[in-house]
Structure 1
């Protein structure tokens, strides 16, 4: 292409051996055909890739854990994908209770490594998500009520900006960039290569639970969960997942940083509802807690189904009308993995003000997402329409959306993802990427 700048790292062009494997993502719905993949081994490889792409006028995408949930976000047709998944080193500084982490160690391996040496950081519900992406959008999970979001623990980062310059951001240097990275969405400002996180001493033991009910108890189980979960002891994180009628499962799981005895009494309002077919409560060492909640998966595990997801924030409890909308979605969506997913908020999440970091949604009662799944291409449009229609129907009962569960049907995405932080994010974008080199659907546009 006539450029003096050479790509470095592990490079795979279209047509090379390994290309098909390189272009596969967790969600087949987002697959496309980039021109080239650069699997960076170092920060210098990232710099070279950005400079090469700009010189040759090739669109850029950053990829970490291959978990992008909508099209054209971590891969682009005929573009360059700068993939940091070979950069996964971790250094622990136990004296200062910090971990320095390259941006594609995946959440599972990172959390397990730290647990083995007695430390705890927040984690989400999938072991194979890259730490790079989940951190940028906020990073929710079962520990958020007790110790906060993943992004709340970010104290420094290394980023390659649009001119190939390596920047460090912390509270003293480029502090606006650190602010933006804590919830401002992946890939907007540059390509991150290293993070420094605050870590916590892990408890010696903690308690996990799992409850299953038959699907026909949907209304009473959901009402009991929403009345209980946002207000329960802050040391208790709980997920409720209600799958499609076709699947027939209602499933609550959770983690309590305390004893089995105490958790058993806290769970009483949930266990006593309906007729659970399974109630499991187990006190475990913290390392076993982590193994139980995020079991090992092959790094390249791929879903066999296409997923379309949308999300929102209920700031008040769901009335009957909203529960009816949920039920009709789950009756109509036939995919076995289609579901409504809820995670309780509160506690440490709302001890930080919405303006203190780019993550705005500090005060909802819980987080909500709904997704459909399908395997046949002929079913795609029906499922996409169902997700979109459900969003419109739920709009009186919810606000906004979560940038880590992106939905390109959201037109007014800036305020929906970032609330009143959107304008400040646009100014920071203008400072660090004035030419909008890092742009993709729903990326933050610069504002001067």
Structure 2
């Protein structure tokens, strides 16, 4: 392995250089998910796009593996590389809101929560995912499915332009009229084509939502009813339905804790009175065990917990799509959840449709526009010796619920990412992505991702 001269790097870069032995090294290499212990040769936090290009040049010069870090939420730790160079965008945090045009330029060191709070000061919003601490770079380039998706589309559907630093060090301004193939590829194709240093997003007027968490008992009829009502609701409503053991929270009765419940996260992007009417059939499914759904500001949808930095869950998971979630299939999933080997396990259901499905399948690198449901199955590990058992449970449970064509959402791919890349990017999407990869990264420098090799 090439030995880096850290002193020379500190002279070369105005941005922060963090190396083994430095204060802050362990924090700089830490990831959101547990089970990873990478020790990079160096972490460099550039101060501008020119320094981003210089970090990329350093990776080319040394031959060391390069990873790009925004929020550190990669399920398989792609954000940090053992023995290599971490290009950490943390210090790129500029943001500029144009209230009149309803747009924002945001640098990729910002989190979803940062941008959401900044634009909310003007009654505006851009939909990211469902977690405020994720970096906007990763979630945007992978697609972005979240609380506003059925009303305003995925995050990528609201990207107007971007600044991209390519493998050869060029700093490109891309949009529909400039480098259109690259602009197409970074909207869903992940970090395969360059380092996006800033995005321009279209914003929407969202002064208030009806949102929060509602907890119901978990029976097949209630889960099926929740999904049926949510899928048929006006597109202002987006929901995430988690079926899981009730966590030991103060507001949950002691006799309920540990038993299966439906933990629903709901967001109605419209007037409170209309939201209450739309949510009434869901509330009528059963007496809620807890109901925190109320008129709130959109940033309050991101439940950022205190002490989150100390929480590093280790799990095995599978992401998939389903065309139909009928009652017998839901009943089988609940039976498997009831008898699962892991104390903590979850089946998550996301009704899609609405604005997501109105975008042509070939308009971006996200090709699953017509799929009505996204499903994620996960099982938490108690230690490395439980991995094989939990992985098998996840695979068997996913097989029960999966129907329709194989598919995967790239931002949720876990250990199975390399094997399932073609499911994330089916058919013509894959072929076009490999051609764009050959043009902008023929040497596959950007390979710490769900990798798309260059054509040929």
TM-score normalized by the length of structure 2: 0.89
- Counterparts of 2:418 and 2:186 in 1: how far apart (Å)? 23
| Alpha-carbon contact 2:165-2:194 (below 8 Å) kept | yes
> What's the offset of the Cα at 1:276?
2.4
Partner of 2:299: 290
Q: Distance in 2 between matches of 1:300 and 1:229?
A: 30
Structure-2 residue corresponding to 1:370: 377
Describe how 1:130-169 pairs up with structure 2 within 5 A: 130-169=135-174
What's 1:279 paired with?
291
Please name the residue that 2:49 is paired with: 43
Equivalent residue number for residue 367 of structure 2: 360
CA distance in 1 between counterparts of 2:99 and 2:416 reads 44
Q: What is the Cα deviation at residue 331 of structure 1?
A: 2.9
| Correspondent of 1:316 among 283, 308, 324 | 324
Equivalent-residue separation in structure 2 for 1:262 and 1:8 (angstroms):
53
**Structure 1, gaps ≥5 residues long:** none
SS at match of 1:404: helix
Say whether 1:256 aligns with 2:268: yes
Partner of 2:408: 401
Q: Matched residue of 1:382: which SS?
A: helix
**Aligned equivalent of 1:105:** 110
Which residue of structure 2 aligns with residue 24 of structure 1? Answer: 30
Which whole-Å deviations, capped at 9, do the CAs of 1:314-344 have from their partners, x for residues lacking one? 12234514541453145314243x3111222
CA distance in 1, matches of 2:327, 2:304: 38
SS of residue paired to 1:30: coil
Residue 249 of structure 2: aligned partner: none
Correspondence 1:49-128 to 2 at 5 A: 49-71=55-77, 73-128=78-133
Shift in CA distance, 410/117, structure 1 to aligned 2, threshold 3 Å: closer
Judge conservation of contact 1:61–1:75 (CA < 8 Å) in 2: yes
How far apart, in 2, do the equivalents of 1:329 and 1:251 lie?
A: 14
Give the equivalent residue in structure 2 for 1:237: 238
**Matched residue, 1:331:** 339
d(CA) in 1 for partners of 2:361, 2:242: 27
CA shift, 1:171, in A, is 1.3
Number of positions where the alignment pairs a residue of Structure 1 with one of Structure 2: 438
Listed one character per residue, the Cα deviations across residues 259-285 of structure 1 (whole Å, up to 9, x for unaligned) are 33322322233222234223344223x
Say if 1:102 and 1:193, in contact at 8 Å, map to a contact too.
yes
Q: Hey, what's the Cα distance between the residues in 2 that align with 1:402 and 1:118? A: 30
1:55-112 deviation line (CA, Å, top 9, x unaligned): 11101111100100014x2222111110101211111122322101001210012101
Cα distance, 1:41 vs structure 2? 1.9
Q: Aligned pair 1:380/2:387, yes or no? A: yes
- Deviation of 1:218 after TM superposition, in Å, equals 2.7
Where does structure 2 lack aligned partners over 5 or more consecutive residues? 247-257
RMSD: 2.3
Distance change in 2, residues 1:346/1:221 (3 Å): same
- Match of residue 439 from structure 1: 447
The structural deviation recorded for 1:412 is 4.5
Give the Cα separation in 2 of the matches to 1:10 and 1:330. Answer: 49
Contact 1:408-1:441 at 8 Å conserved across structures: no
Q: Which of 163, 171, 187 is matched with 1:182 structurally?
A: 187
2:195 alignment counterpart: 191
State which drifts further: 422-431 or 117-126. Answer: 117-126
Give the stretch that moved more between structures: 188-197 or 432-441.
432-441
Q: Distance in 1 between matches of 2:327 and 2:406?
A: 15
1:425 and 1:176 mapped to 2: Cα distance?
9
Corresponding residue for residue 214 of structure 2: 211
Note the C-alpha offset of 1:237: 1.0
Q: Distance in 2 between matches of 1:134 and 1:30?
A: 20
